[in-house]
Amino acid sequence: MAGLKCSNCGGSIRYHDTPSGIQYTVFTAKSWENITQAIYDPKNERMHNEWKIPEPYRYLSCTIWEDFPKEFREVWVCPHCGTIAVFDNSGVRVKAVYAPTTDIFSVDRHAEKYVVFSDYVWEEIAELSIPVSEISNKFNVTYYAIANEDYIWLFKLGYESDYDKVYKRISVAKE
């Protein structure tokens, strides 16, 4: 079991290996598009042109962690106040913390776009051995997000819809 103390309310955030609504898996929209368009070669016949050796092109939902290790981040949400802790690529250190705010901010439509999966949805995806190209047909994104250095906007229906929640950055971890 892993845990940390919320930077906003001081509450305890604990995550077990089973889904609990605490952990989310986040990909940039561009990375997610590249992943879901990856070639699925069930017989592993595709050859790497430069080295002429077989590459593992069996991109399945159950192996995204290994096949695309730098393409995602994990975030945890405090069950007490809703604060978001964004982890670095190692998944060990908190990179930034965003607290919910009721202030109204214009969405920065030019900022980076993300797709977010709850741990409930992600566990279902990871338990199946389906080609990654089929994930979008079988599973819905939990949230769409737009984020810049100062804010995160979450959308349920898509990037062009009205945002459901907005978060303001309250701290950044030391490098």
pTM, full prediction: 0.85
pLDDT attached to residue 151: 95
How far are the Cα atoms of 6, 22, 168 from residue 9, in angstroms, in the given order? 6, 15, 14
- Is-contact 137 173, C-beta < 8 A? no
DSSP state at residue 133: G
Residue 66 to residue 74: CA distance in whole angstroms: 15
Asked if residue 64 lies in contact with residue 126, where contact means CB atoms within 8 angstroms, the answer is yes
CA distance 25 to 116: 6
CA distance linking residue 10 with residue 82, whole number of Å = 12
Q: What is d(CA 154, CA 138) in angstroms, rounded to the nearest whole number?
A: 22
pLDDT tens-place string over residues 33-76: 989 987 766 665 555 555 555 555 668 898 888 888 889 999 99
Residue 152's identity, in one-letter code, is: I
3-state secondary structure of 62: helix
